[in-house]
Amino acid sequence: MTESTEVYGEHLAEFQKTAYIKGMDEYQKLYKQSVEDPEGFWAQQAEKYLSWEKKWDQVLDYDFTEARISWFSGGVLNASYNCLDRHLDTIADKIAYYWEGDNPEETKAVTYKDLYTRVNRFAAVLKNNGVKKGDRVIIYMPMIVELPVSLLACARIGAIHSVVFGGFSADAIANRIKDCGAKVVITADGGYRGGKPVSLKDNVDKAMEKCPDVETVIVVNRTDSGIPLKPGKEVWWHEEEEKTAADTFVAPEPMDAEDPLFILYTSGSTGKPKGVVHTHAGYLLYTAITTRLVFDLKDDEVFWCTADIGWITGHSYIVYGPLCCGLTGVMFEGVPNYPDFDRFWAIVEKYRINKFYTAPTAIRALAREGESHVEKHDLSSLSLLGTVGEPINPEAWRWYYKNVGKSRCPIIDTWWQTETGGHMLTPLPGVAPVKPGSCSFPFFGVDPVILDDTGEPVKFPDEEGLLCIRKPWPAMARTVYGDHERFRETYFSQVPGMYFTGDAAKKDADGYYWIIGRIDDVINVSGHRLGTAELESALVLHPSVAEAAVVGFPHPIKGQGIYAFVILKANATASDALKKELVGQVRNEIGPIATLDIVQFTDGLPKTRSGKIMRRILKKISAGKLDELGDTSTIADESVIDKLVENRVNIE
């Protein structure tokens, strides 16, 4: 069977009874309307999904040459009001989050009223600590309830949050604080992972040495570590909260539709990570509508997105989308293999989860442990399974479909990016059969095109090319914080007049899209983006390293692994101890997600005569595709290749 003829439609009949979008005809009709009359379509959705303090003057205004995009300008609203206040009349006692601790015995059920109360009190805490509309707040926290509370409290007072994933290093925190000029940091003493407390505050302390401008650090006591706080600058969350009345009300700040809601840093192919900026109205609308329609979530259903809130997936599908829709979600502090490899399935059974959303890397890691862990649990509540973060290999897809979904649940393979804010290419469960490895069709309002090397749309089915988007959609990023020119250049200059995704894709004869992967120097490790430039800069900081080139290679669990080719300085000697040091060096600079899988010492790198490293060749060598090295005639010194091949390291 070829890729594109293997189709699965067992779920369709059931979904077509109740789905919001029933069948291909309805999808196509709405899709056509959404791209032919985006203003009409999105105005209607903005009325339906959001509550406005003041309606907009103009739905859409944009200029892709200048990278200027504006949705609902003149409109006034507040994201925290939309996620909380407006639900109080109807669903105050509904569960917003089932929170499941790393320890399965530790759980909490947080209602919309509870969340509202906590957000109001913490909004008051932020104000008491001098945070004002437009100020930037860095958040570095484990997956505890105080994390979404922090995001929403910032949104409530109009402060711009920037969450730094808990797996990032002190330097990563410091760089982000400096880049956005944050005055306040919210963190915790630590968190629990796999039964052990993990310190977080240490990293913040180290970052603080480089960030004298931070005025206040607010610390949640999560692990009773008893660490001392520095008087004056550092305060305990609970002590600050106690200074506010239990029924504190902080009026939601009226925000312009286009005011920034948050900054989230993401890796690109060049330079340091970019602070991608999302806005109050467009982002919220788009995450709400995609949460509803892509997962076909009904009001009485339970949804679990396993992502960490430190990534865009958590922002959009744990916090803003589900809360804006008034849905019940699950938030999980721990890891998939503690206490055992059945943890995910135990949680699905415990909360009778209906729709489940995870990443291919997690599926592969769990599949490797065998079916017995899945079979221990009653998963009959599930009706839909989602995936995100990287292309899913058909083998993992089939395992997920058969063992978790029992061949009844569609796999909703959602392709999108930090910069797109929400789902872009995705199946809708009531519309059409799904194919393993394909993300199906564009969501409403998304106008994709695949371009060939000359910049023309490809002419034939299955022809691979560069994926671009021709029209704006509400959740697209608006700028790179503090560097609009970088935003314009990265996303709008490569193909004039279009948004450049950085991914290659193809469309089959049935109109299904297939993502091939990044075409730039971005490595996707377990669904997380790392730029080769960042990794190389971290390596050359080591006193023994003269030069380094890093590429991604196929890895059985992580999707892509990190392969580093390193040239040492003349006075340094290659050794296993030095390899370990280099691995540690990069982990310290960026964080544990940037763990080098392979370090190969070499005397030379393949370079063009103008001195450019030929990564194309290094990628083939790292993947073991030695007969596909292609044309090597432009290499300045061809003998380098033989040595590289000879000393190539295989992953154990």
Cα-Cα-Cα-Cα dihedral sign, residues 394, 398, 404, 407: positive
Name the minimum Å distance from CB 491 to ligand 6R9. Answer: 12
The reply, when asked if residue 529 is annotated as ligand binding, is yes
What one-character DSSP code corresponds to residue 133?
A: T
Question: Is the CB of 175 or the CB of 417 nearer to ligand 6R9?
Answer: 417
Please tell me the distance from the alpha carbon of residue 116 to that of residue 129, in angstroms, as a whole number. Answer: 20
Beta bridge partners of 99: 108, 331
The reply, when asked if residue 540 is annotated as ligand binding, is yes
The reply, when asked if residue 339 is annotated as ligand binding, is no
The reply, when asked if residue 195 is annotated as ligand binding, is yes
Q: Is 560 in the site for ligand 6R9 (CB under 6 A)?
A: no
Residue among 102, 390, 536, 597 that touches ligand 6R9 (CB under 6 A): 390
Q: Strands 255-256 and 274-279, how do they pair?
A: unpaired
Question: How far is C-alpha 202 from the chain's CA centre?
Answer: 25
Segment near ligand 6R9 (CB under 6 A); pick from 27-35, 387-395, 402-410, 613-621 = 387-395
Q: Is 423 in the site for ligand 6R9 (CB under 6 A)?
A: no
Looking at 371-412, list the stretches that DSSP marks H as alpha helix, in order from N- to C-terminal side.
372-375, 394-399
Name the minimum Å distance from CB 264 to ligand 6R9. Answer: 9
Q: Is 166 in the site for ligand 6R9 (CB under 6 A)?
A: no
CB < 8 Å & 24+ apart, contacts of 16-19: 16/430, 18/298, 19/296, 19/428, 19/429, 19/430, 19/431
Read off the amino acid at residue 359: A
Segment near ligand 6R9 (CB under 6 A); pick from 99-107, 115-123, 414-422, 447-455 = 414-422
Q: Strands 216-220 and 136-140, how do they pair?
A: unpaired
Residue among 162, 169, 383, 417 that touches ligand 6R9 (CB under 6 A): 417
Q: Is 183 in the site for ligand 6R9 (CB under 6 A)?
A: no
Position with the least CB separation from ligand 6R9 = 418
Assigned token pair, 216 = 């206040």
Name the minimum Å distance from CB 150 to ligand 6R9. Answer: 21
Q: Is 306 in the site for ligand 6R9 (CB under 6 A)?
A: no
Segment 522 to 541, residues that bind ligand 6R9, using CB under 6 A: 524, 527, 529
Residue among 391, 427, 429, 465 that touches ligand 6R9 (CB under 6 A): 391
Q: What is the DSSP string of 270-288?
A: SSSPEEEEEESHHHHHHHH
Please tell me the distance from the alpha carbon of residue 208 to that of residue 177, in angstroms, as a whole number. Answer: 9
The reply, when asked if residue 416 is annotated as ligand binding, is yes
Segment near ligand 6R9 (CB under 6 A); pick from 24-32, 251-259, 408-416, 633-641 = 408-416
Cα–Cα nearest to 82, from 377, 272, 236, 288 = 288
The reply, when asked if residue 193 is annotated as ligand binding, is yes
Name the minimum Å distance from CB 618 to ligand 6R9. Answer: 20
Q: Are the CB atoms for 498 and 468 separated by under 8 Å?
A: yes
The reply, when asked if residue 121 is annotated as ligand binding, is no
Residue among 82, 306, 313, 602 that touches ligand 6R9 (CB under 6 A): 313
The reply, when asked if residue 415 is annotated as ligand binding, is yes
Please tell me the distance from the alpha carbon of residue 410 to that of residue 433, in angstroms, as a whole number. Answer: 8
Classify 187 as helix, strand or coil. Answer: strand
Question: Is the CB of 518 or the CB of 607 nearer to ligand 6R9?
Answer: 518
The reply, when asked if residue 364 is annotated as ligand binding, is no
The reply, when asked if residue 426 is annotated as ligand binding, is no
Cα–Cα nearest to 320, from 366, 278, 359 = 278
Segment 339 to 368, residues that bind ligand 6R9, using CB under 6 A: none
Segment 439 to 458, residues that bind ligand 6R9, using CB under 6 A: 439
The reply, when asked if residue 146 is annotated as ligand binding, is no
Query: How long a stretch of residues is the chain?
Result: 652
The reply, when asked if residue 337 is annotated as ligand binding, is yes
Segment near ligand 6R9 (CB under 6 A); pick from 105-113, 211-219, 410-418, 620-628 = 410-418
Q: Is 284 in the site for ligand 6R9 (CB under 6 A)?
A: no
Residue among 175, 266, 403, 479 that touches ligand 6R9 (CB under 6 A): 266
Question: Is the CB of 437 or the CB of 606 nearer to ligand 6R9?
Answer: 437
Dmax over CA atoms of the chain, in Å, equals 74
Cα–Cα nearest to 182, from 159, 153, 166, 156 = 159
Which residues make Cβ contacts (< 8 Å) with residue 221, sequence separation at least 6? 188, 189, 236, 237, 238
Cβ burial 314-348 (10 Å sphere, 16+ → b, else e): bbbbbbbbbbbbbbbbbbbbbebbbeebbbbbbbb
Radius of gyration, CA atoms only, the chain: 24
Q: Are the CB atoms for 515 and 505 separated by under 8 Å?
A: yes
The reply, when asked if residue 352 is annotated as ligand binding, is no
Question: Is the CB of 23 or the CB of 271 nearer to ligand 6R9?
Answer: 271
The reply, when asked if residue 615 is annotated as ligand binding, is no
Q: Strands 355-358 and 302-305, how do they pair?
A: parallel
Cα-Cα-Cα-Cα dihedral sign, residues 157, 323, 268, 175: positive
The reply, when asked if residue 417 is annotated as ligand binding, is yes
The reply, when asked if residue 418 is annotated as ligand binding, is yes
What one-character DSSP code corresponds to residue 404?
A: I
Segment near ligand 6R9 (CB under 6 A); pick from 19-27, 389-397, 547-555, 620-628 = 389-397
Q: Are the CB atoms for 443 and 294 separated by under 8 Å?
A: yes
Segment near ligand 6R9 (CB under 6 A); pick from 166-174, 230-238, 398-406, 514-522 = 514-522
Name the minimum Å distance from CB 328 to ligand 6R9. Answer: 22
Please tell me the distance from the alpha carbon of residue 152 to that of residue 116, in angstroms, as a whole number. Answer: 9
Residue among 85, 100, 413, 589 that touches ligand 6R9 (CB under 6 A): 413
Residue among 19, 324, 515, 550 that touches ligand 6R9 (CB under 6 A): 515
Q: Is 87 in the site for ligand 6R9 (CB under 6 A)?
A: no
Looking at 368-411, list the stretches that DSSP marks H as alpha helix, in order from N- to C-terminal side.
372-375, 394-399
Question: Is the CB of 71 or the CB of 416 nearer to ligand 6R9?
Answer: 416
Please tell me the distance from the alpha carbon of residue 623 to that of residue 85, in angstroms, as a whole number. Answer: 53
Classify 186 as helix, strand or coil. Answer: strand
- Number of amino acids touching ligand 6R9 (CB under 6 A): 23
Question: Is the CB of 252 or the CB of 336 nearer to ligand 6R9?
Answer: 336
Name the minimum Å distance from CB 335 to ligand 6R9. Answer: 19
- Backbone phi and psi for residue 54, each to the nearest 5 degrees, phi listed first: -145, 135
Segment near ligand 6R9 (CB under 6 A); pick from 87-95, 214-222, 321-329, 497-505 = 497-505
The reply, when asked if residue 408 is annotated as ligand binding, is no
Please tell me the distance from the alpha carbon of residue 109 to that of residue 356, in angstroms, as a whole number. Answer: 18
Residues making up the binding site for Mg(2+):
540, 542, 545
Residues at the annotated binding site? 193-196, 313, 337, 389-391, 413-418, 503, 518, 526, 529, 540, 542, 545, 587
Annotated binding site for CoA: 193-196, 313, 337, 526, 587
Q: Which residues bind ligand 6R9 (CB under 6 A)?
A: 266, 312-313, 388-391, 413-418, 439, 501-503, 515, 517-518, 524, 527, 529
